Amino acid sequence: MILVHICCSVDSHYFLQRLREQYPDSKLMGYFYNPNIHPKAEYDLRLLDVERSCKMLGIELYEGEYDALHWLEDVRGLEEEPEKGERCVTCFDSRLLRTASFAKQKGIGTFTTTLLSSPMKEREILFTQGEKIARLHNLEFIKIDVRSNGGTQAQAKLAKKDRLYRQTYCGCKFALTKQRDAQGKLSLELVENLGRQIQPASNEERLETFSRRNALEADRVPYILAKRSIMAWRNLRSTAKFEGKLLDAYVLADSKSKNHSKMGEIEWIRTEVGSPLLLQGLLRPKNATNSAQSENLAQHFANVSHEIALGVASKDDSVFLCLEDFNALCETRYQSVRELSRAPIPYSLENALRICLCGLGSVNPIIVLDSRIESSLTIFIHSISQEESVFALIEGKK
């Protein structure tokens, strides 16, 4: 029996097959212990993919504890170390020590790690640390080279062929921050959404996508796992002030930044606006997530527009909507803008609402208020838009 510490499916899927070839008489057991992976949604996604991989390979898998606080304490003081530096060595030790303890608990005398498969890790350091930890526990550590002679290229090819989740960082938030800083980007992976809205290029969206992949496979529905380049938007902070006091306001997706802009008087007009629910249904791909939010389009054809009051700032390009009309357009029942902020509508519906109000490709700030205000407001919006690569499912016919 060989206990294999597993870090992710991309590394393990190839590694386990090569290990099985070299040790055909030994049964393999997987152990997923990775408290270094942040945030928790990313950890859950990698575990989901490892479970699928192990099922494909017929390998029993155990999950270790997600003791992230313990890991953070282990690497305290090493936060600024570069990747492949001392923080990584400490991280290896933390995970291999726990793997060795689990091996002893299970009565297994031999262990190894799929970290050896990663081109981002120092193999010789892993060999040294693995042997040292094995001696401490009276175990054997298997040193295997799966990278040489085209192994790294074969691993990447296999990951794509078997439609694995191919992550873009090791899991460590400190390494990710440095990586994104070098790219001139914000680490969206570490931006947690306080509401329940699932945003494009978020951990939650990726988890939904790969959960859907598993469901398609279970139902034997053909699909293609593709990549798409999108502009991902995030509202980092926004405030509205009326007569010097903070005012509850909800900023719709894709609203551009405003630096304490004074709106001037807000002019309101009664106008006809198309149904964003209908548009959402027409725009959303067949495989879109948020299935619980899906609508029966037929019921909207009889009511494709609403008469609402739309507010336009006299000194600015900002657009305003009161909560009553927002509820009418989106068929929601929010009692306050604060409630809307805590539990927003689906992101796809926000985009459909934006198109209905301001047109395709608009970036006007669209702001929802509890009630109409005609006097000047001061608006601050700190938003970003950056290009991101996301996974998409193209579903075929069963």
Residue 284: closest CA among 296, 298, 294:
294
For position 85, what pLDDT does the model report? Answer: 87
The pTM assigned to this predicted structure is: 0.86
- pLDDT one-digit tens code per residue, 22-70: 999 999 999 999 999 999 999 999 999 999 999 999 999 999 999 999 9
Write the burial class of residue 363 (CB in 10 Å: 0-12 exposed, 13-18 middle, 19+ buried).
Answer: middle
Point out which residues pair with 223 in neighbouring strands: 395
User: What are the sequence ranges of the domains in the chain?
Assistant: 2-190, 235-291+302-395
Q: Return the exposure string of 300-331: e unless at least 16 CB atoms fall within 10 Å of the residue's CB, then b.
A: beeeeebebebbbbeebebbbbbbebbeebbb
Mean pLDDT of 190-216: 88
Range 231-234, long-range pairs (CB < 8 A, 24+ positions): 231/385, 231/386, 231/387, 231/388, 232/188, 232/199, 232/200, 232/201, 232/385, 232/386, 232/387, 232/388, 232/390, 233/199, 233/200, 233/383, 233/384, 233/385, 234/186, 234/188, 234/191, 234/199, 234/383, 234/384
Residue 293 has pLDDT above 60, yes or no: no
Structure tokens at 323: 């909560």
φ, ψ of residue 36 in degrees (nearest 5): -80, -15
Distance (Å) of CA 329 to CA 196, 304, 310: 20, 10, 12
Report pLDDT for 291. 44
Q: Tokens representing 373?
A: 């205000």
The mean pLDDT value for 107-113 works out to 95
The CATH superfamily label for domain 2-190 reads HUPs (3.40.50.620)
* pLDDT tens sequence across 247-268: 999 999 999 999 998 988 999 9
| Range 199-227 average pLDDT | 94
In one-letter notation, the amino acid at residue 369 is L
pLDDT score recorded for residue 392: 94
Rounded to 5 degrees, φ, ψ at 137 are -110, 10
Q: If we measure between CA atoms, which residue out of 63, 75, 57, 76 comes closest to residue 17?
A: 57
| pLDDT (tens digit per residue) in 352-367 | 999 999 999 999 999 9
